[in-house]
Amino acid sequence: MKKTGLWAATLLFSCALLAACSPALNWRTIQLKDAPLQALLPCDAQTASRPVELGLGQVPLSVVGCEAQGATYAVSHFAVAEPARAAEALTFWQQAVLAQLKSADGVATRLNVKGDGPWVPKGALNLPQSLRITFEGLGPRGQKVVGHGLWFARLEGSGARLYHAVIYADKAMPAEAELFFSGLQLQ
């Protein structure tokens, strides 16, 4: 799988495998089964996992998420054996996500909205790549897509676990993004 394969796998898991979720916003806290993180989701969550090529080698990417009111909510994560590679992996992951939503410039446009910037939850590694970004571009069918995404990492045993939380919709959803992101709690 090429660089863009990681994001494509995440989006496919998020959209195709999670399409059976309830359309109403009914926020609930879930504990990820295979990672020390609680998440707040607005619908019944579905999970999926599969190996993807990251550039650091193949990693087992896990995704939990759902669709509600035309938006996809997802939290993805994987572990790396070398914590020193966490920053590099987060940078790659951000670039891969932004490269998937094309714009006139070739990659998604960062919108720089209120709340964007450094985002380091309690217990996470304090890395410059721990970011919250709002972006827009065109999806695979040429439709407008706005994304609210954040990335962070945490030491886990002798390695590190990397996380990406995202909302994909046809318009900005700042209130939903604030609630979704504030509900992410490392355990």
**For the segment 129-162, what is each residue's pLDDT rounded down to a tens digit?**
999 999 999 988 889 999 999 999 999 999 999 9
What is the pLDDT at residue 170?
96
> What digits encode the pLDDT tens for the residues 3-49?
444 444 444 444 433 444 434 588 999 999 889 999 999 999 999 99
Give the pLDDT of residue 25.
81
- Order of strands, sheet of 28-31, starting from the edge strand that comes earlier in the sequence: 28-31, 37-41, 185-186
Contact between 132 and 119 (Cβ < 8 Å): yes
Percent with pLDDT over 90 in the chain: 67
pLDDT band at 107 (very low <50, low <70, confident <90, very high): confident
Q: Give the integer Cα–Cα distance in Å for 121 and 154.
A: 9
